[in-house]
Amino acid sequence: MQALFPQFTQFDPLTGTIEGAPSLERHLSDLRGYFADQTAYQAAFTQEDALLYTVTNVEPAQGDGALHYGISYLLPGRVGREYYMTKGHFHAWRPAAEYYIGLRGAGLLLFEDEQGHSWSTPITPNSGVYVPGHTAHRTVNTGPEPLVFLGIYPFNAGHDYGTIQERNFSQVVVDVNGQPTVMERSAFLRTLTQI
Amino acid sequence: MQALFPQFTQFDPLTGTIEGAPSLERHLSDLRGYFADQTAYQAAFTQEDALLYTVTNVEPAQGDGALHYGISYLLPGRVGREYYMTKGHFHAWRPAAEYYIGLRGAGLLLFEDEQGHSWSTPITPNSGVYVPGHTAHRTVNTGPEPLVFLGIYPFNAGHDYGTIQERNFSQVVVDVNGQPTVMERSAFLRTLTQI
C-alpha cells in the first residue's frame, strides 16, 4: 500500500468525530463580537463559556488537485434570539469551493459574497450543499439537536476569518415566535432597542 | 439568491439517487472485457444484460476551485467468482483527487497508480476514503446489499476509461470460500484453467 495516511477514515455522524483525528473546540468566548445581541452574549458568557461547536479535519495529501475533508458538530442553543452558529469565513484562496454533506440535525447556511450579496440554503441530513468560491459561509443550528455535517474542500482553501470578524454577516438567523427567521442584522438590532 | 443551480440537493442513500439529477446506467454489456472470467461473463450476459450500477452527478459550477459531486449505486452480485464492480478510471486531469463517502453496504476500493502499484481499502457507511491523484480507482461490491457512496471531486477531474480498458487492474476481488479476496488477476486466471 502506498504511504498515504489516513486514506480510510471512519466518522461518527452522531458525535461529529473522526477516528484518530484531533478536534478543535470553539466556545462562546471564541465568538465574542459575532452575536448581534451583546447584552444577551454577556449574560450567556457570565453563566458559562459554553461549547458551541467542534471541527475535525483530515488532510491526507497536499498539492494541486488534492482534497481535505472535515466534520463539524454544532450544538443547539441560542444567544438571546440568535441561534448558535459558526464564526464563518471566506476561503483564504478565494476561488476554493466546498461541498457540505448534511448528516444530522437541521440548520441553515448563510452565504455572503465579496460584493455583500446575501442568501441562505437549508442543510439537512442527506443533502449536498455547494459553497461557491469567493463566498463567505456560516452555519447556523436552527433545530433541537446537534447539527452535524461534512465539508470537502481543496487542500489549499484555507481560512480567512478576519474579513468576517471585521464586517460580520449582514444577515442574522433569529427565533421569531418559535420560527427560525433570516433577518437583516440592522433590522434585528432595531427590535432590540425597541424592547 | 445568487444564480447558482443546484446549490442545495437532496440525495437518497438507499436508492443512490439525487433529486432532479439524471442517472447514468451501466449494464453488463458496458463492461465487456472487464471481468476476468470470460466464460462466466458470456453465461451471465446470455441470461440477462443486468444492471450493474448507476451514477448521478451534480455540477453546480465550473472554473478554478470548483467542485462537483455524485452518488454511485452498485448492485450486489457476481460474474463467476468476481464481484460486481465499476469500470474504474484514472482522472483525465491526473492530479485530481476525489473523496468517497460511504453511505450504504460494504465493498472495497481497488487502487492502481501509474507505475502499476496496487492496493485496496474498505468502503463502509460513515467512512471517508481518499482517492489520491494519479491513481486509477475501481469500486467493488463485496456485500449482500447495494453499495452506495458519494464522490466529491474537482470540476475538471474528468474520466479516462481508456487506459483501464486496455490494461485493466492487475488485481481482482473474488469470492474464495465465501470470503471476498483480493488476488492477482494472473493468479485468478490460473485457477480458472486448472478447473
Shortest CA distance from A10: residue in chain B: B127
CB contact under 8 A, A126 and B18: no
For position A5, what pLDDT does the model report? 62
Going A65 to B102 to A92 to A117, the CA torsion angle's sign is: positive
* A18 and A58 Cβ atoms separated by less than 8 Å: yes
Residues B65-89 have pLDDT tens digits of: 999 999 999 999 999 999 999 999 9
Which contiguous run of DSSP H or E holds residue A44? Answer: helix A38-47
Complex-level ipTM? 0.95
Band (A193; pLDDT cuts 50, 70, 90): confident
As a whole number of Å, the CA-based R_g of chain A is: 17
pLDDT, averaged across chain A: 95
The answer, yes or no, to whether residue A24 has pLDDT greater than 80, is: yes
Residue with cell 454533506: A101
The verdict on a CB contact (< 8 Å) between B11 and A119 is no
pLDDT band at A116 (very low <50, low <70, confident <90, very high): very high
Helix (H, G, I), strand (E, B) or coil at A102: strand
- pLDDT tens digits, A39-66: 999 999 999 999 999 999 999 999 999 9
From the CB of residue A115, how many other CB atoms can be counted at a distance below 10 Å? 7
Radius of gyration of chain B (CA): 17
pTM, two decimal places = 0.96
Summarize the confidence of residues B43-51 as an average pLDDT.
97
Distance from CA of B34 to the nearest CA of A (A): 23
Q: For an interface test with B, which of A7, A14, A94 has the most B Cβ atoms less than 10 Å from its Cβ? A: A7
Q: What is the pLDDT of residue A3?
A: 43
Contacts of B58 in chain A (CB under 8 A): 128, 130
Where would I find the beta strands (DSSP E) of chain B? 8-12, 17-18, 23-27, 51-58, 67-74, 78-79, 82-83, 98-104, 107-113, 118-123, 127-131, 135-141, 147-154, 171-176, 179-184
One-letter amino acid at A50 equals A
Residue A159 confidence class, pLDDT cut points 50, 70, 90: very high
Residue B1 pLDDT grade (very low, low, confident, very high; cuts 50, 70, 90): very low
**CA-wise closest residue to A32 among A44, A18, A19:** A44
Tell me what pLDDT residue A2 has.
Answer: 43
**Residue B11's pLDDT band (cuts 50, 70, 90):** very high
Mean per-residue pLDDT, A108-120: 96
Q: Which domains, and CATH codes, for chain B?
A: 11-194 (2.60.120.10)
Asked if the model's pLDDT at residue B3 lies above 50, the reply is: no
Q: Does A100 touch chain B (CB under 8 A)?
A: no
Taking a C-beta distance cutoff of 8 angstroms, is the pair A85, B152 a contact?
no
How many of the other CB atoms lie within 10 Å of CB of A55?
16
- The confidence score (pLDDT) of residue A1 equals 38
Cell numbers standing for residue A103: 448528516
Work out the pLDDT band at A22, boundaries 50, 70, 90: very high
Closest C-alpha among A67, A63, A86 to residue A149: A86
pLDDT at residue B84 in the model: 98
